[in-house]
Amino acid sequence: MLAQRDCLAAAAGQIQDLEGVVLELGLGNGRSYDHLRELLPQRDIYVFDRRVASHPDCVPEDRFLFLGEILETLPKANAQLGRGAVLAHCDFGSGRAGHDADVARQLALELTPLIVAGGVVVSDQQLASNQLKPMPLPDGVPLDRYFMYTAV
């Protein structure tokens, strides 16, 4: 959780001069969504999950929700938002390594067209894409605990 917070804070600094929205992939109980709202109060935050099961204080407005399988809703988000996101936070890990790696492989392809050049992707899973360049992690974040990329 500390690693996630440090990475999101670093990403918020990195994108401060870019215009665009934020994507939260994996609402869960809404903890990191809440943190993003605090860090980036001026940004629209679009949220992806199969369903809303977050703390009642952390429920996004319907217009900011993409509900369903991420790999199906990302193309819909692309059609709606285009290349308009400055930050994506991916937190969809299930703890099943093989499954998560499969999703991450496909997700990287669907996600990158939404990220503006210079935008940042913070992820709980390693992502592989020619359009995503690995970034150094904040001090104290262990390698392979969290991942950060900048879009080219």
- Site residues (vs ligand SAM, CB under 6 A): 26-32, 49-50, 69-70, 91-94, 103
Q: Give least dist CB 27 to ligand SAM, A.
A: 6
Q: Distances from the Cα of 7 to the Cαs of 54, 74, 88, 129, in angstroms?
A: 22, 23, 12, 20
Q: Give least dist CB 117 to ligand SAM, A.
A: 26
Q: CB nearest ligand SAM: which residue?
A: 28
Our CB check for ligand SAM shows the closer of 80 and 133 to be 80
Q: Give least dist CB 17 to ligand SAM, A.
A: 26
Class of residue 78 by CB neighbours under 10 A (exposed 0-12, middle 13-18, buried 19+) = middle
What element of type H or E holds 150? strand 147-151
